[in-house]
Amino acid sequence: MNNSDAIADFYKKKNINIPTHYQWGTGYFDIIRIDNLQRREELISLISFTRKNLYKIKLVKGKCKCHYADKTIEINQYALMFINPTIPFLLEESDGPIEEYFCLFNEEFFSNYGNIKEYPVFQNTQENIFDLSEVQYLEFENMLNKIQAELSSNYDFKFDVVRNLTYDLIHTTVKMHNSLSTSSVRKNAYNRITLLFEELLALQFPLHTATDYIRFKKPKDFAAQLSISINHLNKAVKHTRNKTSSEIITERILQEAKILLKLTDWSVSEIAYLLGYETPSRFTFTFRKKTGIPPLLYRRDQTNK
C-alpha cells in the first residue's frame, strides 16, 4: 500500500471526508479536533491510530490512560503526546470522555525540511508524553489553532508556514523539558545503519489480519536487505543501542505478541507462525523466558484486568 492509499484508507475507516488541501503522493498534513463523545465514537477505534506512515502530535484534555505493550502512562488532566506510527498504543478514558486536538502528517511532508523522526519526542515511549498545566495546555492549543488557520488559508506558501509552526511546537516542548537531548542521536554511519534497521523492523508492524506475517525475523534477513554484512549490522546496533540486533528483534516481536494476545482472539499457534516462529512451542518457550509467564496465562491476566 502506497502513502496516498494508506491515507485514504485511514479516512475511509474513520468516516472522515478526505481533505483536499494537499497533493497526494508528496506530503500530507491535517488537523482534527474531537470534543464530544459522538465525535470520538465516530473517529477513534479500539486501537488509537495504527497507520504505519502517519505521525501525530496530540493535545489531550481529561483523565485517561495510555497503554503500551509493556507499560501504562496515566494522564491526569492535560497532556501533549508525540506519536510515532510504528509504536502501537491504546488510549483508555478513565473518567468520562476526553477532548483531543491533534495534527497528523507523513514524513514526506517534511522532506528536505529537516528529519522529523530524529527528534527525541518521536523516538521512544520514555520521552513522548508530557503533563501540562492549564496555562501550558492553552499555549499549545493556541499553537494548533494557528496551524489550523494557516492550513485553511489561501496563502501560496502556507505549507512552509505550517512546517515552521509545527517545528516551533516541537522545539517549545523540547526546551520546556530540557532533559531531552538530541545528542543521543549519533550523526555517523553506525547511527544511520541502526535507524534503517529499526525502521525496517518497525514497518512490519502492526499485524492487522491473520494473513499478515513478518518477513524479516533474523539479523541475516535485515543485513541482506540493507546490503551489509551481519557483523557490520551487529557492530552498528551494539555501538548505538548497547543491545544486539537479535535482542531488539525479539523485543519488538514479543511486544507485538502481547498486543495480539490482548486484542485478538487468534490462537497461540496462529500468533506464533505469523511472528515467524517455526513452532508454537518455540514461541511459548521464548515468551515465557522473557516475560515469566506462558502466552495463555498472559492473555487471561490481561482479560481479567
Question: 252 versus 114: which is more confidently predicted?
Answer: 252
Q: Please, are residues 163 and 146 in contact by the beta-carbon 8 Å criterion?
A: no
- Average pLDDT, integer, range 113-128: 76
User: How many angstroms separate the CA atoms of 107 and 59, rounded?
Assistant: 20
Which pLDDT score, from 0 to 100, does residue 275 have? 94
Query: Which pLDDT tens digit goes with each residue over 250-294?
Result: 999 999 999 999 889 999 999 999 999 999 999 999 999 999 999
What is the strand order of the sheet 72-75 is part of? 72-75, 64-67, 90-93
Q: Which three cell numbers stand for residue 264?
A: 485478538
Which pLDDT score, from 0 to 100, does residue 114 have? 79
| Burial class, 211, CB count within 10 angstroms (exposed 0-12 / middle 13-18 / buried 19+) | exposed
Q: Which three cell numbers stand for residue 271?
A: 500468533
In DSSP terms, which residues pair with 67 in a beta bridge?
Answer: 72, 90
Phi then psi for 34, rounded to 5 degrees? -120, 110
The CA–CA distances, whole Å, from 162 to 58, 68, 81, 120 equal 16, 30, 19, 21
Poorest-pLDDT segment among 59-68, 172-181, 232-241: 172-181
Signed CA dihedral, 205, 209, 212, 214: sign only: positive
Work out the angle between the directed axes of helices 189-202 and 245-263 (0-180°, nearest 10).
Answer: 20
With cut-offs at 50, 70 and 90, classify the pLDDT of residue 186.
very low
Q: Which three cell numbers stand for residue 190?
A: 553506525
Question: 272 versus 17: which is more confidently predicted?
Answer: 272
* Domains (range + CATH), the chain: 3-183 (2.60.120.280), 189-304 (1.10.10.60)
- Average pLDDT, integer, range 7-11: 59
- Structural element, H or E, at residue 10: helix 3-14
Query: Which pLDDT tens digit goes with each residue over 54-98?
Result: 889 999 999 988 876 667 788 889 999 998 887 777 778 887 788
Full-model pTM: 0.54
Q: Please, are residues 65 and 58 in contact by the beta-carbon 8 Å criterion?
A: no
Contacts of 23 (CB under 8 A, 6+ apart): none
